[in-house]
Amino acid sequence: MLLKTFGWSFAVTAAGLALAGFLWGWQGLAIVAILSVLEISVSFDNAVINAGILRKLNPFWQRIFLTVGILIAVFGMRLVFPVVIVAITAKLGPIEAVRVAIEDHDRYEQLVTSAHPAIAAYGGMFLLMIFLDFIFEDREIKWLDWLEKPLAKLGKLETLSTVVSLVVLLIAATTVATAVPVHDGGGTIDKAATVLLAGIAGLVTYLVVGGISDFFENRLEEAEEDAEDEAEQAAAASGGKGGASVVGLAGKAAFFMFLYLEVIDASFSFDGVIGAFAITNDIFMMALGLGIGAMYIRSLTVFLVRKGTLDDYVYLEHGAHYAIGALAVILLLSIKYEINEVITGLIGVVLIGLSYLSSVVRNRKQAARTETSEVASGV
């Protein structure tokens, strides 16, 4: 099970480190290894969130997530995305942006760093909406009753998540975004308009992608219920026609859920990409190191799904969403303040660790109650 799930990650790690050693020597190998660990530590909560979504998909789409999805994650978000950001913010042509990324590492780092307020606002708003939609939903299982019960009551207002997100964005735009430090010579610059625009874009992205995904998921569930109720009649009357319809709906639902997963992954990768510049400004080293880490996050996601970990440890998803909320706040604060990636990673690990321990305690209490009940009934 372990080798089957993580086999490709182990293979990519070996090949990636060998390539790093060949191209850049021992120093390059060490940098790529450090970047891999950085990505895993910062994005561990991403695996838990992804697992909650991926378990709804069939094995085919899980394989797509590990193959096509990892190509998007590595080449799209860790290699192409920073270059696109440079091209847009610096108003460079695609070829010139690629040339700067490959040949002028210092200028490339400076351009990406200057684009950080827009990146942080976009990713921060997207992740904040994920957290708020989770915390405002009335769930049967609650981790922190004292907090989640009153928030679930407030969550009956359907637009509350959007309203709170917009308020947070306004606060960020009028506080941290008004005096962003200039990294190439001191002083500050007003990035309020940029942060507002990027934050609204992140909010719109969440509403559009999440809304479409939910729509097709609901359609799929309705179709499956109808198919179960009329299975024998449909098989006799229309042969395989009804089954084909359900498969088509499943394909649409799976596609948009896959798209939703990719957007989530993109939002999680922002801080990793920016943080990587503290270690190196070589775009290929960053892509290789962060790509290896992203591969492990993907494999861990599939492992959690196949082991049924989220069903066994019911508070893990809560802990991951609290970590997402913390990451969203950190991204918005990082518009003005420099926050070490170690802090970001530790917050996620601590929250998920606490939720795991709470799940273990819950499972033991349930097992003890079951045993006591069986003894009392004479079983």
| Mean pLDDT calculated for residue range 171-190 | 83
- Structure confidence at residue 247 (pLDDT): 38
Q: How far apart are CA 300 and CA 313, in angstroms?
A: 15
Q: How far apart are CA 248 and CA 254, in angstroms?
A: 10
On the question of pLDDT at 312 being above 50, the answer is yes
On the question of pLDDT at 164 being above 90, the answer is yes
Strand partners, 180: 189
Q: Which of 154, 83, 168 is nearest to 121 (CA)?
A: 168
Tell me: the pLDDT tens digits for 191-225?
Answer: 999 999 999 998 998 888 777 767 766 766 666 56
30 to 34, 132, 190, 285: CA distances (angstroms)? 6, 39, 38, 10
Q: How far apart are CA 317 and CA 52, in angstroms?
A: 7
For residues 93 and 128, the model is more confident at 128
Q: How far apart are CA 379 and CA 375, in angstroms?
A: 6
- Report the predicted TM-score, pTM, of the whole model to 2 decimal places: 0.76
